[in-house]
C-alpha cells in the first residue's frame, strides 16, 4: 500500500513539473490565430488609408484617375501577389460582407447628405428611369443574349438569360456616385442617377423572384403574376415605412438623450443600420429603408443634437462610407485576379 502511495505521489509530482515546464513564462509569443481576423481587417483599412494619402500627394496621377480606379489597380496588384503566394486558395468579396457590412454605411451617407428638394422635385423623372429604364435594360439584354445563345459554350434558356440580365441591371452605381462627388457634377444629374439606383432595388427584387419561379417546371399561374406586380409596391412601401419608423424613433430617442452627448452619435449611426437589417429580415428593400431613415432623421437630429455631436455624426458617416467604398474597390481588383474564371468571349461581348 505504501509503495502504491509513493508511486502516486511520484507520478503527480512529475506531472506537476511537466505542467509547470509547459506553462512556463516566456518573453515573446507568436499568436497569429488569436488575432488573425481583426488584424486582417485592420491591416486592410491601414493599407487603404496609406494608399489614399499617397494618391492625393501625387496630383498628376490623381487628376487623371479617380480614387476608385486607383484602388481597383491596387487590388489587382494585391490579388496577383496573393495568387502567387497561395495559388490554390481564392480570395473574393463575400456577398454577406458586401450587403450586411459594406453597403449600409454608403447608403446611409448618401441618404443623410442627399438634397431633399431636388429629389422630390425630380421624382417623376427618377421613377421613369427606375421602373421603365430597368425593365428596358432587363429585356433588351436578355433578348440580345438569347439571339446569340447558339454561340455560347453553355446552353441557356430565355428565362435564365433574363434572370442574368436582372442581376446585372441591379448594380448599384457606387463608383459612378463616387466619381460624381469628386468632379462635382450638377445636382440634377447626381440626383437622377442616385434616385434611380435607390428605387430600382424594388423592381429588380420583384423581377428576380418572378423569373426565378418561372425556372421551375410547374411555371406560374395568373394569380402569381398579380402577386408579383403587387409585391413591387409591397417591397417599396414596406422599405419606406420601415425607414420612416426608425427615423421617428431616432428623433424621439435623441430628443430625450440631450444630456447624454456621448450616446447621441451612436444612436444616429445604430438606428439606421437597424432599419436596414429589419427591412432585409422581412424581405423588403433594405437600401430604401436606410436611405429614407437617413433622409428623414436629418430633420430631427439637427435640432436635438449638440453642435459637437452633430459634427461627430457627419464626419463619422463620411469616414465610414469612404472606408467601405475603398474596401469594395480593392476587393474587386483582388477578386478579378485570384478567382478562377471560365471565359466565354461571345457571351462577354454580347453582354457588353
3-class DSSP string for 163-207: HHHHHHHCCCCHHHHHHHHHHCCCHHHHHHHHHHHHHHHHHHHHH
Banded pLDDT at 224 (limits 50, 70, 90): low
Q: Which three cell numbers stand for residue 279?
A: 427591412
Please give the share of the chain, as a percent, with pLDDT higher than 70.
79
Q: Is the pLDDT score of 278 beyond 90?
A: yes
Average of per-residue pLDDT across 156-168: 78
* CA dihedral for 8, 11, 12, 13, sign (positive or negative): positive
User: How many degrees, rounded to 5, is the angle at CA 88 between CA 83 and CA 91?
Assistant: 55
- Lowest average pLDDT, out of 68-72, 287-291, 348-352, goes to 348-352
Residue appearing with cell numbers 516566456: 26
Give the span between the Cα atoms of 260 and 276, in whole angstroms.
Answer: 25
| pLDDT at 6 > cutoff 70 | no
Name the range with the highest mean pLDDT among 37-41, 62-66, 109-113, 170-174. 109-113
What pLDDT, on a 0 to 100 scale, did the predictor assign at position 273? 94
Q: Are 339 and 92 in contact (CB under 8 A)?
A: yes
Strand, coil or helix: 51: helix
Angle between helices 264-281 and 307-338 (to 10 degrees): 50
Look at residue 277 and tell me whether its pLDDT is greater than 60: yes
Residues 6+ apart with CB under 8 A from 304: 251, 254, 255, 258, 264
* Range with the largest mean pLDDT of 30-34, 58-62, 239-243: 239-243
Residue 269: pLDDT over 80 = yes
pLDDT (tens digit per residue) in 122-152: 888 888 888 888 888 888 888 888 887 777 7
Q: For the chain, what is the mean pLDDT?
A: 77
Highest mean pLDDT among 24-38, 184-198, 275-289, 324-338 belongs to 275-289
Whether the per-residue pLDDT at 213 is higher than 50: the answer is: yes
* pLDDT bracket for residue 57 (50, 70, 90): confident
Q: Where are the alpha helices (DSSP H) in the chain?
A: 2-22, 32-57, 59-64, 67-85, 95-97, 103-112, 116-121, 123-127, 134-147, 158-169, 174-183, 187-214, 222-255, 264-281, 286-304, 307-338, 345-351
Cα(293)–Cα(287) distance, rounded to whole angstroms?
10
At residue 293, the pLDDT reads 92
Euclidean distance between CA atoms 63 and 65, whole angstroms = 6
Q: Looking at residue 173, what is its pLDDT?
A: 59
Mean pLDDT value across residues 343-347: 70
What's the mean pLDDT in 246-265? 87
Smallest CA-to-CA distance from 311 within 302, 299, 323 is with 302
Could you tell me the residue ranges of all domains in the chain?
95-327
Give the residue-averaged pLDDT of 152-162: 76
Q: How far is CA 268 from CA 95, 238, 240, 250, 302, in A?
A: 26, 21, 18, 7, 11
**Count of CB atoms situated within 10 Å of the CB of 158:** 14
Is the model more confident about 222 or about 295? 295
Write the pLDDT tens digit of every residue in 64-115.
777 777 888 888 888 888 777 777 777 767 778 888 888 889 888 888 887 7
Q: What is the pLDDT of residue 148?
A: 78
Query: Is the model's pLDDT at 8 over the cut of 50?
Result: no
Handedness of CA 176, 180, 185, 190 (dihedral sign): positive
Q: What is the pLDDT of residue 44?
A: 78
Amino acid at each position: 500500500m505504501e509503495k502504491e502511495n509513493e508511486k502516486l505521489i511520484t507520478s503527480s509530482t512529475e506531472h506537476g513539473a511537466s505542467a509547470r515546464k509547459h506553462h512556463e513564462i516566456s518573453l515573446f509569443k507568436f499568436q497569429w490565430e488569436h488575432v488573425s481576423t481583426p488584424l486582417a481587417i485592420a491591416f486592410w483599412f491601414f493599407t487603404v488609408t496609406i494608399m489614399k494619402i499617397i494618391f492625393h500627394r501625387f496630383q498628376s496621377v490623381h487628376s487623371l484617375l479617380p480614387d476608385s480606379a486607383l484602388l481597383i489597380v491596387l487590388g489587382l496588384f494585391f490579388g496577383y501577389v496573393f495568387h502567387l503566394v497561395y495559388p490554390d486558395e481564392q480570395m473574393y468579396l463575400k456577398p454577406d460582407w458586401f450587403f450586411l457590412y459594406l453597403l449600409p454605411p454608403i447608403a446611409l451617407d448618401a441618404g443623410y447628405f442627399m438634397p431633399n428638394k431636388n429629389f422630390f422635385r425630380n421624382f417623376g423623372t427618377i421613377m421613369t428611369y427606375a421602373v421603365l429604364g430597368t425593365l428596358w435594360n432587363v429585356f433588351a439584354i436578355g433578348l440580345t443574349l438569347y439571339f446569340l445563345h447558339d454561340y455560347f459554350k453553355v446552353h441557356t434558356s430565355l428565362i435564365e438569360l433574363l434572370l442574368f440580365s436582372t442581376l446585372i441591371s441591379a448594380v448599384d452605381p457606387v463608383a459612378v456616385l463616387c466619381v460624381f462627388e469628386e468632379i462635382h457634377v450638377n445636382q440634377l444629374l447626381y440626383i437622377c442617377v442616385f434616385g434611380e439606383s435607390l428605387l430600382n432595388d424594388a423592381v429588380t427584387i420583384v423581377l428576380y423572384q418572378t423569373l426565378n419561379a418561372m425556372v421551375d417546371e410547374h411555371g406560374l399561374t395568373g394569380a402569381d403574376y398579380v402577386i408579383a406586380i403587387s409585391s413591387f409596391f409591397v417591397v417599396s412601401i414596406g422599405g419606406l415605412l420601415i425607414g420612416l419608423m426608425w427615423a421617428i424613433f431616432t428623433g424621439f430617442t435623441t430628443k430625450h438623450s440631450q444630456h447624454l452627448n456621448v450616446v447621441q452619435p451612436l444612436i444616429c449611426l445604430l438606428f439606421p443600420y437597424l432599419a436596414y437589417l429589419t427591412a432585409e429580415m422581412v424581405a423588403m428593400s433594405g437600401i430604401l429603408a436606410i436611405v429614407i431613415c437617413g433622409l428623414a432623421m436629418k430633420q430631427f437630429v439637427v435640432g436635438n443634437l449638440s453642435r459637437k455631436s452633430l459634427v461627430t455624426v457627419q464626419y463619422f458617416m463620411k469616414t465610414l462610407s469612404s472606408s467601405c467604398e475603398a474596401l469594395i474597390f480593392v476587393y474587386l481588383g483582388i477578386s478579378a485576379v485570384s478567382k478562377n474564371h471560365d471565359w466565354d468571349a461571345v457571351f462577354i461581348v454580347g453582354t457588353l
